[in-house]
Amino acid sequence: MAQIGVVAASTTSIFSLSYVPQTITFSNITSITRVRVTVNNAGIICDLDLAGINSLKNTRAQSSVTGQVELMLANGIAKGKNCIIEVTNGATVANLFASSYANQTEATVYVQSAIQRAYANTPITFNKFAVLGFPSMGASDYGMLETNDGLQQKVDQIEWRNLLSKLQTVENNTNDLKLDNLDAWVKGVTLYLGTDQNIYVQRYIEIL
């Protein structure tokens, strides 16, 4: 893991790379309000607020270093790509690191992380996603999940955590309210929500 630089306090720090790392890691995100990553010929591949960072962090990690947060950008290292990382921060300084731990394998897809707005009492359906985070889901909200073998089931907060626990460590807080579509086992999911809220979506996009 190589340090890219220091995220200064009370400003937006900009880091320029000649490649896209597999992951970026922050030593402290307590005051970070936005992370945006832009790549030439691909556009914005990561645009998250603090809630989104917490929701999509450390995906499939069986453990994590206290205070460190990792975000996936690709399935390997994408060389020869101009990459701009913008981090808007508050009062606390943080260090930013880059890693490509897949034996330096050349990446074939970016992991695109984005915010999608959902509205109260308006069902919203997601298909062809990698990870779906919904940290503002209420206790009475739920999802209708359909798997590729045709199974359909209603899923509440308890079951979301149970599904996630098969793939990574759960925190027993709202960060656990997400669905990891590893191996594309989910055909689609429809969320039924009682309040307006942000949904955080990760998808794979082919590197051209």
Q: Which tens digit of pLDDT belongs to each residue from 26-74?
A: 887 778 889 999 999 999 999 999 999 999 988 776 656 667 789 999 9
Note whether residue 207 is domain-resident. no
Residues 94 and 9 grouped into a single domain:
yes
Buried b / exposed e along 77-93 (16+ C-beta atoms within 10 A): bbeebebebbbbbeeee
The reply to whether 121 and 197 lie within a common domain is yes
CA 102 remoteness from chain centre: 18
Res. 102: pLDDT tops 70: no
Q: Does the pLDDT value for residue 103 go beyond 80?
A: no
CB neighbour list of residue 136: distance below 8 Å, 6 or more residues apart: 51, 174, 195, 197, 198
User: Do the domain assignments include residue 208?
Assistant: no
DSSP 67: T
pLDDT, position 63: 59
Q: What is the bridge-based pairing of β-strands 94-99 and 2-7? A: antiparallel
Cα–Cα distance between 112 and 185 in angstroms, integer?
Answer: 19
- Does residue 186 carry a pLDDT above 90? yes
Per-residue pLDDT tens digits for 104-126: 679 999 999 999 999 999 999 99
What is the number of structural domains in the chain?
A: 2
- This prediction has a pTM of 0.91
**pLDDT tens, position by position, 166-180:** 876 777 777 789 999
Does residue 206 lie within any of the structural domains? no
If asked whether residues 159 and 101 sit together in one domain, one would say: no
* 103 & 17 share domain: yes
Cβ–Cβ under 8 Å, residues 29 and 89: no
State how far the Cα of 126 lies from the Cα of 119, in Å rounded to an integer: 14
Measured distance CA(130)–CA(177) in Å, rounded: 14
Q: Average pLDDT in the 144-156 region?
A: 94
Mean per-residue pLDDT, 143-172? 87
Q: Which domain holds residue 56?
A: 2-113
Work out the mean pLDDT of the chain and round it to a whole number: 90
Same domain, 64 and 20: yes
Shared domain for 101 and 128, answered yes or no, is no
Question: Residue 13: pLDDT above 90?
Answer: yes
